[in-house]
């Protein structure tokens, strides 16, 4: 973007609303303008540096983006695609039709919904972008004895390399959930995944045929697993009532539209229940899903969406995806990998605050309960009262721990907590008309995500020196707070510090910032070292985040 001196991103209006909301939030502090519209209307003019599509789109439609990708490439516009991993098992890969970046959730590979997360994401891009990607790259090398080994081929830019110029504040990798998704792929292999994807699509085709028999024609004629029905609002209101009495949740979109999605757990009896909901508002029309399923099986037509031929390039070619297709084989493979790791099962680990507590097995058991894992994030609040109670009680506890007035449970990692807190500080200044306050003072000892988060929040980073003991240099802090007084937004300070030391002058540090109109953001990575002794509010901080994998029982990663 900076090299091309462009500041616009085109986003398809068929991307999920939550995706559009995230993009809007992230873009605004960085001075990026989001233009939302129909893909067909995107002119690919020179003011855009990127475009974003969803595949299949938010309405379930599988469309051919190759022409628009080619047009964008000619105009020097990068193409980012938000894709469904399970659909990609059958559909032509975005890379094959010109996409530059592909992102999405790995939840579909064996991870429960969990009322919305956490889930591992995936990020894929072309070789040309490797030095711009977030995180780190691991490469194959050779150790001192000539044995094949893995090493870090590209260091974590966000934490070590020009960190105040990082393009992302990524830190927590959700690696445990990534392991679940990867082992799902290892266990099923390419043939197993194709069988699952084809079964999902066949269920969608049965639903399509059943609804058409009842007079409901889906809006999307090409699809993988989702159909959208358009009808008059009065009919859909009846559908909603009948569905709820049968214990079925449907996705009611804009007025007059309802979406229905299937997956590998959807049975023919489930489909029959859904079809019966729509049949109830017709004049006696019926559809037999079992007969339609048999008819589709014997048609001889392929099970991929009609708009495309099935992908021809191979997937999961590494031998590892062809070996472990029984429970015992997979279990032993996982155990062999686990034996190569140093964990709290073996000894203490000298890796800082991330290992300053133990995850009790009993605390992890609830994640296996269906009542926790099988709730969809869009389920009505009336169906999630247990979760709501947990949220309310946890929020109350955290208020007491921090001494603060309110808590957000939304951030999915410490780095995202930083970003959220900085955006709150930014909003506070703007509410007072102080739009110009954009300087973030950050000690040189800070975790690398601090400056990266500040840049993402639209702030300019000014580094504060530390003394020989690693403490904030009070003279340098005072001088820089004075120098930037008119534009000071905040100080980001870790307490205890990254060196594991309680700053003796922490209250004085906070007072200096407040005296110049700034706010104090306390990095709560080491919160477990101060619980019961003090609190962020007591030391004078205004905002903080807490790391659940440090202070609480969530495993690291």
d(CA 496, CA 502): 4
- The token pair that represents 39 in the structure block: 């893909």
Using an 8 Å Cβ cutoff, are 48 and 10 in contact? yes
- Percentages of the chain per state (helix, strand, coil), in multiples of 5: 40, 15, 40
The pLDDT, as a whole number, for residue 486 is 98
d(CA 539, CA 523): 13
d(CA 199, CA 221): 18
C-alpha angle 58-64-67 in degrees, rounded to nearest 5: 125
Residue by residue, pLDDT tens for the chain (557 residues) are 666 689 999 999 999 999 999 999 999 999 999 999 999 999 999 999 999 999 999 999 999 999 999 999 999 999 999 999 999 999 999 999 999 999 999 999 999 999 998 888 999 999 998 888 877 788 999 999 999 999 888 776 555 666 667 767 877 667 888 999 999 999 999 999 999 999 999 999 999 999 999 999 999 889 999 999 999 999 999 999 999 999 999 999 988 999 999 999 999 999 999 999 999 999 888 899 999 999 888 875 555 455 556 788 899 999 999 999 999 999 999 999 988 887 767 777 666 556 555 667 787 788 788 888 899 999 999 999 999 999 999 999 999 999 999 999 988 888 899 999 999 999 999 999 999 999 999 999 888 889 989 999 999 999 999 998 889 999 999 999 999 999 999 999 999 887 778 889 999 999 999 999 999 999 998 888 888 899 999 999 999 999 877 666 676 64
Using an 8 Å Cβ cutoff, are 123 and 168 in contact? no
Residue limits of CATH 3.90.1150.10 in the chain: 174-341
d(CA 192, CA 316): 11
Does 381-544 carry CATH code 3.50.50.60?
A: no
d(CA 384, CA 124): 34
The pLDDT, as a whole number, for residue 551 is 63
The pLDDT, as a whole number, for residue 304 is 47
At the topology level of CATH, where does 174-341 sit?
3.90.1150
- At 310 the three-state DSSP class reads coil
The pLDDT, as a whole number, for residue 200 is 96
Tell me the sheet residues that pair with 61.
223
Residue limits of CATH 3.40.640.10 in the chain: 8-105+121-152, 381-544
CB-based burial label for 79 (10 Å; 0-12, 13-18, 19+)? buried
The pLDDT, as a whole number, for residue 199 is 94
Does 8-105+121-152 carry CATH code 2.40.160.40?
A: no
């Amino acid at each position: 973007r900076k090299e091309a001196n462009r500041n616009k991103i085109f986003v398809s209006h068929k991307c999920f609303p939550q995706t559009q909301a995230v993009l809007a939030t992230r873009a605004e502090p960085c001075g990026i303008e989001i233009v939302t519209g129909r893909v067909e209307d995107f002119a690919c003019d020179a003011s855009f540096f990127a475009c974003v599509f969803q595949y299949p789109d938010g309405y379930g439609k599988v469309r051919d983006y190759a022409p628009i990708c080619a047009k964008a490439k000619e105009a020097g516009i990068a193409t980012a695609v938000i894709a469904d991993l399970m659909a990609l098992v059958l559909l032509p890969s975005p890379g094959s039709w010109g996409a530059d970046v592909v992102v999405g959730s790995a939840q579909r590979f064996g991870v429960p919904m969990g009322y919305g997360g956490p889930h591992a994401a995936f990020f894929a891009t072309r070789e040309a972008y490797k030095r711009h990607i977030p995180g780190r790259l691991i490469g194959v090398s050779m150790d001192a004895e000539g044995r094949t080994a893995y090493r870090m081929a590209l260091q974590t830019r966000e934490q070590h390399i020009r960190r105040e110029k990082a393009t992302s504040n990524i830190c927590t990798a959700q690696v445990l959930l990534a392991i679940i998704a990867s082992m799902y792929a290892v266990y099923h292999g390419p043939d197993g995944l194709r069988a699952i994807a084809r079964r999902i699509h066949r269920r969608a085709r049965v639903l399509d045929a059943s609804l058409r028999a009842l007079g409901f024609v889906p809006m999307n004629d090409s699809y993988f697993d989702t159909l959208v029905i358009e009808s008059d609002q009065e009919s859909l209101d009846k559908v909603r009532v009948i569905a709820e009495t049968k214990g079925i949740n449907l996705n009611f979109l804009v007025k007059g539209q309802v979406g229905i999605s299937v997956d590998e757990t959807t049975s023919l009896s489930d489909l029959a229940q859904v079809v019966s909901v729509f049949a109830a508002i017709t004049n006696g029309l019926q559809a037999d899903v079992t007969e339609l399923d048999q008819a589709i099986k014997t048609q001889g037509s392929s099970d991929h969406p009609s708009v495309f031929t099935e992908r021809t390039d191979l997937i999961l070619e590494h031998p590892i995806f062809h070996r472990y297709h029984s429970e015992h084989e997979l279990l032993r493979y996982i155990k062999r990998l686990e034996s190569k790791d140093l964990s709290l099962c073996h000894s203490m680990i000298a890796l800082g605050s991330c290992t300053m507590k133990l995850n009790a097995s009993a605390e992890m058991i609830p994640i296996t309960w269906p009542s926790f894992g099988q709730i969809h994030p869009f389920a009505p609040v009336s169906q999630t009262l247990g979760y709501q109670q947990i949220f309310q009680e946890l929020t109350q506890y955290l208020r007491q721990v921090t001494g603060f007035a309110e808590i957000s449970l939304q951030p999915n990692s410490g780095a995202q907590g930083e970003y959220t807190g900085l955006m709150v500080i930014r909003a506070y200044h703007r509410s007072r008309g102080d739009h110009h306050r954009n300087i973030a003072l950050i000690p040189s000892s800070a975790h690398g995500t601090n400056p990266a988060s500040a840049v993402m929040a639209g702030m300019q980073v000014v580094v504060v020196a530390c003394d020989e003991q690693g403490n904030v240099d009070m003279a340098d802090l005072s001088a820089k707070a004075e120098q930037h007084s008119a534009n000071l937004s905040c100080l980001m300070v870790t307490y205890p510090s990254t060196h594991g030391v309680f700053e003796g002058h922490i209250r004085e540090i906070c007072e200096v910032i407040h005296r110049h109109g700034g706010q104090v953001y306390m990095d709560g990575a080491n919160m477990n070292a101060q619980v019961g002794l003090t609190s962020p509010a007591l030391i004078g901080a205004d905002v903080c985040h807490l790391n659940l994998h440090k202070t609480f029982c969530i495993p690291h990663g």
